[in-house]
Amino acid sequence: MAIFGLLAGLLVTFTADLAAHAQTTERVVVNRYSGLAIEGFDPVAYFTDQLAAQGLPDFEASEAGAVWRFRNEGNRASFVSHPEVYAPRFGGYDPVDLGRGVTYAGNPRFWLVVDRRLYLFGREDSRDAFAANPARFLKDATARWPGLEQGLAQ
């Protein structure tokens, strides 16, 4: 009976840990199965290395209902200290589509850093259009984001 109780307790503990790890939100682009933000790419690497780089399971942090991965401890520490700086603007949704009133998940392989903010795009042509005139797209995306964000699950 004691062994059964011990096993049940371990199962409950393991299940609770798994549930906490897999919690997700729609306000940040998150893989619904893994709970990883921006497909496990390191958001700090876009700034420090100017490239899209996969993070490692050894360097994770939870923020905004998502699990973020990093290439090293320094990047993880930078993000934890200032997620508002390193997390993609608009939660990783494509700002071109946001300007049209649509929440379309950005792809971490299509990205730009503009005015010290990271933007992800769903398509390469969206990134290219944005790069040609960021102010035009940011005006519409910024105006529509609060209403669109409220429609997303926390």
Q: HEC profile for the chain?
A: CHHHHHHHHHHHHHHHHHHHHHCCCCCCCECCCCCEEHHHECCCHHHHCCCCCECEEEEEEEECCEEEEECCHHHHHHHHHCHHHHCCHHHHECHHHHHCCCCCECEEEEEEEECCEEEEECCHHHHHHHHHCHHHHHHHHHHHHHHHHHCCCC
* Contact by Cβ (8 Å): 145, 90: yes
pLDDT of residue 26: 73
pLDDT of residue 38: 96
pLDDT at 6 over 70: no
pLDDT of residue 25: 55
> How many residues does the structure list for the chain?
154
Q: Which amino acid is at 111?
A: W
Nearest-10 Cα torsion for 23, 82, 115, 55: -50
CA-to-CA distance for 104 and 127, rounded, in angstroms? Answer: 13
Going by pLDDT thresholds of 50, 70 and 90, the confidence category of residue 13 is very low
